[in-house]
Amino acid sequence: MVRLDRWIANTCGLSRKTVKELVRGGLVTVNDLKVLDPGAGIDPQNDVLTVNGETYRQTPFAYLMLHKPLGVVSATNDRDQKTVLELVPPALYRKGLFPAGRLDKDTTGFVLLTDDGAFAHRILSPKNHIRKTYVASLERPLGDEGLQTLQNGLTLRDGTRLLPAQVRCLSDDRKTVELQICEGKYHQIRRMLAAVGCPVTALMRTAMGALPLDSTLSPGACRPLTPDEVQKILE
């Protein structure tokens, strides 16, 4: 619940004084009922407000799947580099969008854009064990010892401790591998593979939770997720 006057002021761009005058003047209704108390609590997700003849209703949160291309940074703004938000077409753009989990500039694949902070926290918190799936191309083959080290978890030279990853080789030469992790530490995939002697030459995030990147999305394209797809991220 939020205060009526605060929500109207933020949504309509009005001063708190003007809002109070509108409310006390009987020009504000909530679900078709006149409200005269500026401090009344409302639920913006479910309540329909009319302010001086204009109707307002909080639209649902946005959840966009973006196929991030190379050379684009996972940030809301950057003075020198193109950001993921600049790839969102005007019809899908809305204020408050941000990338829920970042991919570095040289990594491609699935980036979730949303304005739902609670959902983003839920999928990024390691304690919730939401897996992220990556496919990495390696400079050298991943041997059995290195694979076992990744599956057991490891500690990097700087003391960073990494949880066990699920790893499988996708090619006969063992230079293309799939990894699933539940963390999102700085350059984690690249650092953990380098630690076992297999520098990464290309990296792509292919899924979040049980939701794979849409194979029909070309690099730089994005689309809204369905409610079922949003739930799959949590699986």
Which residue, among 116, 97, 93, has the nearest Cα to 230 in the 3D structure?
116
For residues 25 and 136, membership in a common domain is answered with no
Domain limit, last residue, from 42, 57, 72: 57
Catalytic residue among 37, 43, 104, 106: 104
Distance (Å, whole) CA 74 – CA 77: 9
Annotated catalytic residue 104: yes
Residues 163-208: pLDDT tens digits? 999 999 999 999 999 999 999 888 999 999 999 999 999 999 999 9
C-beta neighbour count of 215 within 10 angstroms: 8
Q: What is the CA radius of gyration of the chain?
A: 23
Domain limit, last residue, from 14, 30, 57: 57
For residues 77 and 31, membership in a common domain is answered with no
Q: Which CATH number is 21's domain given?
A: 3.10.290.10
For residues 76 and 144, membership in a common domain is answered with yes
- 220 in Cβ contact with 87 (< 8 Å): yes
For residues 124 and 180, membership in a common domain is answered with yes
Amino acid sitting at position 86:
E
Distance (Å, whole) CA 188 – CA 186: 5
What's the predicted TM-score (pTM) here? 0.76
Amino acid sitting at position 120:
A
Q: Which CATH number is 95's domain given?
A: 3.30.2350.10
For residues 124 and 17, membership in a common domain is answered with no
Residues 110-135: pLDDT tens digits? 999 999 998 999 899 888 889 999 99
Report the number of distinct structural domains present in the chain.
2
